[in-house]
Structure formats: C-alpha cells, structure tokens
Amino acid sequence: MSSKILLKTIKEYQKSIEENAQIKLARNAAARGEITDLAMDWEAFRRIDHTFSEMVSGQLEVTNQKSSGRCWGFAGLNLFRIYLGRKYNLKKFEFSQSYFMFWDKIEKANYFLENVIQTSVEPWNSRLIMYLLENPIQDGGQWDMFVNLIRKYGVVPQTEMPESFQSSKSMRMNRMITRKLREFAKSLREVYNEGKNLTVLHRMKKEMLAVIYQMLVIHLGTPPVRFDWQVRDKDKKFHRFENLTPKRFFLDHVGLNLDDFSCLINCPMSDKTYNEVYTVEYLGNVVEGDIIRYLNLPSSRLKECAVQSIRDDDPVWFGCDVGKHFHRDLGVMDMDLFDFELFYGTDFPMNKADRLEYGDSQMTHAMLFTGVDLDKGGKPRKWRVENSWGNKRGDKGYDIMTDKWFDEYNYEIVVHKKYLTDKELEIYRREPVKLPPWDPMGALAG
C-alpha cells in the first residue's frame, strides 16, 4: 500500500461526503456558527441549574485577570479575600494582583538565570536548555509557587498597587523581558565556557536582575513597602489600619497558615502510581523556596477532600483543563453538554490517561470551588466555580462543573492537611519522585 495520499483516495473521501446528509448539514452549520453552540445537546442545556446544596460563605464579586495568565494567583488571592471578607464583613475587596505578579516575575527571572548557570555545561541545543529558554517568565504558576511568593513578600490591597495596562495585557511585557533573559543566558554561558568561576557569574546575575527589575517597574509600577488600609464594611462601620507592611497585612489580617495546605493531583498516566508524591525538576519561581509537591490520588479521593472542605466553609483552589467541553458564555463544564460525536460523525474515545500521554490535555487554568451540589447520598452532582474572567459569563462570573467533568479534566486541588489520612500525610512528607520538566504534570495554570 502506498504511503502517500492517492488522488483516487481523495475521490473516495469526497464521494463518501456527498452521500452523507448529516455531514453536509454539519458543514453548512459550521460555516456560520460556533461549534460549541452547534453541537450543544438541548436536553443537557435545559438542565443547567446554578443552585447548590452546599455553599461557602463570604463570596464576593468575581475578579478579572483580563488578557493575562495569572489565574493561579487570582485564585489564591480570591481564596484569601474570602477569609478577609468574613473577618471584616466586607462587601467588596480585591488584593493587588499586580503586586504578586511583580514579585513572581523578578523571582522567575532569578530562578531562570540560576538554572542557566547550573546547566552551563549542557550544549545549547540540548532538550533541557531548549526547555529553559522556551518561556522563562510566563504568567502561569502553581500553588507552591504562589505560597513561596506570599511567604516572602506578603500581600497588599489593590488600591496600593492597581492594575496597569501591562498587567492586564501582559504579552508585550513578557516578550520584551524574555528577549532580555535569553540575551543574559547567552552571556552567562559564554563567560562560563571561558572558565570564569561562580562568583563572577553571580555578580553578573545581580547586575542582570537590576535590568529586569527596572523593566518590571516600567510595566507594573513600584511595589509598596508600607501602607495604610481603610475600608467601610457592609454595616457601614469604618476600619483603618496604619503603617502596615505587606507581610504583616497577610499575617495579621488574612491569618492563614500556609503550611497547613496540601496539593493533591489525579494523574492516571501509565508511568505514575497512586499514593505517591511527585515533584517536577526545574519548575518553580523562588530559589530555595518550597518545591512543587503533588500527592497523586484517585479522583474519588480528591472529591471527598473537596466536599469536606466546602462543608467546613473552606474554599478549594484547583487546577483543570478548562478549555475542554466548556461553554465559556454559559460558564458550564459538562461532558454531556456537547454531542461532538453526532456533529462530526466520529467518536472521541481517549480516556484521561490517554489524553495526558498523547498531548491532548494538561492543566491550563486555576480557579476556586466555592460550592457543591450533593445528592441524597452525599455524592457530588456538580460544583460551583469562582472564575477570574469577569462577571459577564455564567452566573455573574461563577461557573458550573459537573461531577463527570471533574473526573475527566480536573487535575489538582489544594486542601487543608486535616482532610488527609495519616497514611496520605506520611506519603506527602516523603522525598518526592522527580519528573522531567516536560512531563504533563509540569504544566502551569494561566
């Protein structure tokens, strides 16, 4: 059989299309419409219901990351503000997303340059060097990276470091800083190959970071060192706190112990096992900060922990592949909402492990679970999701995730360690198995 496409074969394809009325109908519809609207199943659509049996208290108006990939930080800060809002009876509040973004960028720049120094012996065209150079300062991140930033730099109200055009539309900033970092990587590697020692390389790195800091100030502004915070609560009571530092603001007014949280994943790939803890090499932001740490468990355990957390009035940070089986305007993640098999006249049979192993899925977005709808037996039917894409979609920016969708495309949750068994806690504290940086579990939420 020939390895090329024969013209005779093309004619066979065309004849098959001409004889298939269903495909012709789908083609005609697709010429003028959005596929997720055309393939929508009416029976699933009419069952969309934004009510939930269990809801976290203190939910506020949703935030908007706009044209940036900061979802992981937005989700983390949105989790914090629920506790702050309860404490001070707030109707409206946002932490500064530009502030966390600024420190994430400078730390990622240092992390990148340090990795360049440590891998200078590698040839420029090795897979590792190509990986490091690909996207050194992207917006995305992970829970442990978020924790590293909060511990080191704290948080500030959005009024102290507001959004800028560049923070809300970060592509140009990232492109220009990435260009500079690649130039710096070249210089460091050249000096290393000339036989210079680490003292020289680190002196060079310090000077390079001064340039990156300067570029970040131009794009995002200067991070505040001290500030006053004042607010009027729902009962019109006025609160003022003076001479705060960002770290004291977090410790005194948010007050969460970040050591109490654990990161659980569901990754059924053939090269991974459940009840094992993993990390990803060369994935991080703060040098000498906490490493990425994932405890791999069945999806059912992730759901059990998330349900317990929500019933205890604690929101849950999570990471998923939001682009799959998702209607953005309706704000619905549902495996049954679209009949793609009928529309395209073909099946899509890959399971979760297949999709991970063959590049069809990975974690892309982080949000919060703020509610769950349980059946009479206490099993989840659907989940309430606080997104960070503004209030024009879904239920004023809050989305729905069906429980079936959770199993297929949700990969990660962060919950208090009290929801883990003693055995799971013991595993979580072990030395983790190291995954290569290009492993699907190395994907960053953005």
Q: How confident is the model at residue 331, as a pLDDT?
A: 96
Q: Does 367 score more than 80 pLDDT?
A: yes
Among 102, 227, 220, 80, smallest CA distance to 147 is for 80
Per-residue confidence at 295, pLDDT binned at 50, 70, 90?
very high
Q: How confident is the model at residue 1, as a pLDDT?
A: 76
Per-residue confidence at 2, pLDDT binned at 50, 70, 90?
confident
φ, ψ at 240 (rounded to 5°)? -140, 135
What mean pLDDT do residues 149-165 have? Answer: 98
Check: CB of residue 149 under 8 Å from CB of residue 77.
no
Instruction: Output the 3-class SS for the chain.
Output: CCCCCCHHHHHHHHHHHHCCHHHHHHHHHHCCCCHHHHCECHHHHCCCCCCCCEECCCCCCCCECCECCCHHHHHHHHHHHHHHHHHHCCCCCCECHHHHHHHHHHHHHHHHHHHHHHCCCCCCCCHHHHHHHHCCCCCCECHHHHHHHHHHHCCCEHHHCCCCHHHHECHHHHHHHHHHHHHHHHHHHHHHHCCCCHHHHHHHHHHHHHHHHHHHHHHHCCCCCCEEEEEECCCCCEEEEEEECHHHHHHHHHCCCHHHEEEEECCCCCCCCCCEEEEECCCCCCCCCCCCCEEECCHHHHHHHHHHHHHCCCCEEEEECCCCCEECCCCEECCCCECHHHHHCCCCCCCHHHHHHCCCCCCCEEEEEEEEEECCCCCEEEEEEECCECCCCCECCEEEEEHHHHHHHEEEEEEEHHHCCHHHHHHHCCCCEEECCCCHHHCCEC
Q: Do domains 37-67+257-446 and 74-255 have the same CATH topology?
A: yes
Per-residue confidence at 252, pLDDT binned at 50, 70, 90?
very high
Euclidean distance between CA atoms 321 and 293, whole angstroms: 19
Q: How confident is the model at residue 297, as a pLDDT?
A: 98
Beta strands 433-435 and 276-280 are: parallel
Per CATH, domain 74-255 is 3.20.20.70: no
Euclidean distance between CA atoms 265 and 263, whole angstroms: 7
**Domain range list for the chain:** 37-67+257-446, 74-255
Q: How confident is the model at residue 355, as a pLDDT?
A: 98
Q: What is the mean pLDDT of the chain?
A: 97
Per CATH, domain 37-67+257-446 is 3.90.70.10: yes
Q: Does 265 score more than 90 pLDDT?
A: yes
Q: How confident is the model at residue 77, as a pLDDT?
A: 98
What residues act catalytically?
71, 365, 387
Q: How confident is the model at residue 250, as a pLDDT?
A: 98
**What predicted TM-score, i.e. pTM, was given to this entire model?**
0.97
More confident residue, 276 or 47: 276
Q: How confident is the model at residue 130, as a pLDDT?
A: 97
Q: Does 53 score more than 90 pLDDT?
A: yes
Per-residue confidence at 304, pLDDT binned at 50, 70, 90?
very high
Instruction: Output the 3-class SS for 156-173.
Output: CEHHHCCCCHHHHECHHH
The per-residue pLDDT for range 326-337, each reduced to its tens digit, is 999 999 999 999
Length of the chain: 446
What mean pLDDT do residues 308-324 have? Answer: 98
